[in-house]
Amino acid sequence: MDAQEPAQPQEEWIVLFDGTTMDAWRGYGREDLPESWKIEDGALVFYPEDKPVGENHNLVTKQMFKNFVLSLEWKISEGGNSGIFWGVQEDPWRTEPYQSGPEIQVLDDERHPDAKNGTTHQAGALYDMVAPSKSVVRPAGEWNLCEITVDYENHTGSVRLNGTEIVTFPLANEQWDAMVENSKFKGWKGFGESHMGMIGLQDHGDVVAYRNIKIKPL
């Protein structure tokens, strides 16, 4: 019998959304799922008009993660805004995921006014801290493939959008602390300090869709 090459280990991706079930998710600060998030054509779609006035319907994973690669596709509506968080914590005094979890921006750069508030507010940015090195975002209404790497062991993180690495950033070191000090998050209690936390999808009051969400622990 000829010698065979040893089997290569498979990448251990955990599927968080496969287009058919939202079992991996719940609402932030609640145990159930907000009705404003719906499954349509294999995508997880948020409709702001389907929520009571004054409520925020952010989604978070039921499971917590530390070091990982998160892969997903997002599609924003015209003039829309949303975001992807990691390290999200829930406490009685917190009302939003962004109070604890750093955000990768999801935005219609062409139409949303936040895009004019500096490049650290544009699509793919580590919000208010690291700007994309180049613009590779697709227009509103088109899908963008986003890959976020968070590696506390090696003190590094990155964002790859549509196949191009556009953001790199330090983690859990003096460089991270300095970056936070120079951002709007200066002085925010516990912001970006939890290495283990939930993944979050933001309700920013605009229609947004996500699909093919998976995560690979490192």
User: What are the extents of the domains in the chain?
Assistant: 20-217
114/112 Cα distance (integer angstroms): 6
Residue 102: pLDDT over 50: yes
Residue 96: pLDDT over 80: yes
Residue with tokens 């330090």: 170
Is the pTM higher than 0.75? Answer: yes
Q: For domain 20-217, say whether CATH 3.40.50.2300 is its number.
A: no
Average pLDDT over residues 179-198: 97
Percent of all residues in the chain with a pLDDT value above 70, rounded to a whole number:
95
The pLDDT of residue 54 is 86
- Which residues are CB-contacts of 216 (< 8 A; sequence separation ≥ 6)? 11, 12, 13, 14, 68, 69, 71
Tens digits of per-residue pLDDT, 104-147? 999 999 999 999 999 999 999 999 999 999 999 999 999 999 99
DSSP-derived secondary structure letter, 181: H
Q: Hey, what are 216's tokens?
A: 């690979």
Tens digits of per-residue pLDDT, 155-184? 999 999 999 999 999 999 999 999 999 999
SS (H, E, C) 24-76: CEEECCCCCCCCCEEEECCEEEECHHHCCCCCCCCEEEEEEECCEEEEEEEEE
Please state, as a whole number, how many other Cβ atoms lie within 10 Å of the Cβ of residue 36: 18
Q: How far lies 170's CA from each of 81, 82, 152, 176, 177, in Å? A: 25, 23, 9, 5, 9
158/164 Cα distance (integer angstroms): 11
Q: What is the amino acid identity at position 208? A: V
Percent helix, percent strand, percent coil in the chain, to nearest 5 = 10, 40, 55
Residue 84: pLDDT over 50: yes
Q: How far lies 96's CA from each of 78, 134, 139, 200, in Å? A: 24, 29, 27, 10
